[in-house]
Structure 1
Amino acid sequence: MSEPLRASSQRVQEFLNGKGYDFTVRELASSTRTAQEAADSVGCSIAQIAKSIIFRNKADNTPVLVVASGANRVNTRKIEQAAGIKLGKADADFVRAEIGYAIGGVPPIAHIQKVTTFLDPDLQQHEVIWAAAGTPNSLFELKPADLALLTEGQWIDIAE
């Protein structure tokens, strides 16, 4: 019998179930805090890790989520030009207060409020990808098309 999920991961699992998906949140013994650790933990390439990075919209102080391939660095200028917004850094307190999760386990879904979301098109090169599920050692597997549906995110070029 498996251990029950921690509360943060359980929120992600309930969100997925509520949307009619049968994806399974997996809590692992190893860390998934970084894209490389996540890839090593599930045996995939780093490019298959969908890392969630929270920024702050400078105009209205709302969160902006960027879901990037683990192999890519995010170019905020590209996002700003494509979306017509100015991005600022989001510290740990902002992320927890506005998203509901701690940095290192931020999922692309199940936030405490609706979040403007931008998706890295490089994720579409893969049959399956892995995303954080609420803790620094939990993930779930999904397809890039499902990521777009679940997040209502916009695919834009975000990589450096």
Structure 2
Amino acid sequence: MPEHPAVVRVEAALAEAGVVTQVVWLDGAAKTAAEAASALGIDVGAIANSLVFLLDGEPVLVMTSGAHRVDTAWLGERVGGTFSRADATTVKDATGQVIGGIAPLGHPVPLRTFVDEALADYPEVWAAAGHAHTVFPLTYDQLVRVTYGTVTPVAPPVAG
């Protein structure tokens, strides 16, 4: 397997957290949840997207199901702050990783993290491992534990 510094950091963080898993190198880049799900042959909802936002100016991580979009205004009201988009430089500085390959851990310093409760619907979720060609499986409970995440919906319930 190829080596990449960000992936090595993610693997070390997983080992330190006691998560036994295997990073998978995909043939092509999986910069979106749909691409990752297609490459893995799984439901897009089982992809744990790592999205970096600014919450009142501070970088935070939102782990959301690939089947959802984060409603930043709604989530901001829920957690008592204002979410805004983080630019690519801010994302790289906060995570040590580039957009499209952001892992839930392995960052220079831990980020405050919010975890989409919808990911709990899947016995196994897949997250990026620090590079756009890498993913790894873990359970929802492991994801919450390794990120020290706050479990929350990321958008209001759909009326129906």
> Percent identity between the aligned chains?
34
- The secondary structure found in structure 1 opposite 2:141 is helix
The answer for the alignment partner of 1:110 in structure 2 is 106
Q: Normalising to structure 1: TM-score of the pair?
A: 0.93
1:66 alignment partner in structure 2: 62
Name structure 2 gaps, 5 residues minimum.
none
Q: How many residue pairs end up in the alignment?
A: 156
Measure, in 1, the Cα distance between the counterparts of 2:73 and 2:105. 24
Residue type of the alignment partner of 2:94: E
2:10 corresponds to 1:8: no
TM-score under structure 2 normalisation?
Answer: 0.93
Picking from 135, 139, 145, the partner of 1:139 is 135
In the TM superposition, 1:6-155 aligns within 5 A as 6-58=4-56, 61-155=57-151
Instruction: Answer yes or no: is the 8 Å Cα contact 2:6–2:106 preserved in 1.
Output: no
Cα deviation 1:73-105 (Å, max 9, x = unaligned): 111122111211111110000111122110110
Distance 1:6 1:121 in 2: 31
Question: 4+ residue runs of structure 1 moved beyond 3 angstroms?
Answer: none
SS in 2 for 1:30: coil
5+ unaligned residues in a row in structure 1: which ranges? Answer: none
Contact 1:133 1:139 in 2 (8 A): yes
Q: Offset at 1:129? A: 0.5
Partners in 1 of 2:104 and 2:44 — Cα distance?
17
Contact 1:96 1:102 in 2 (8 A): yes
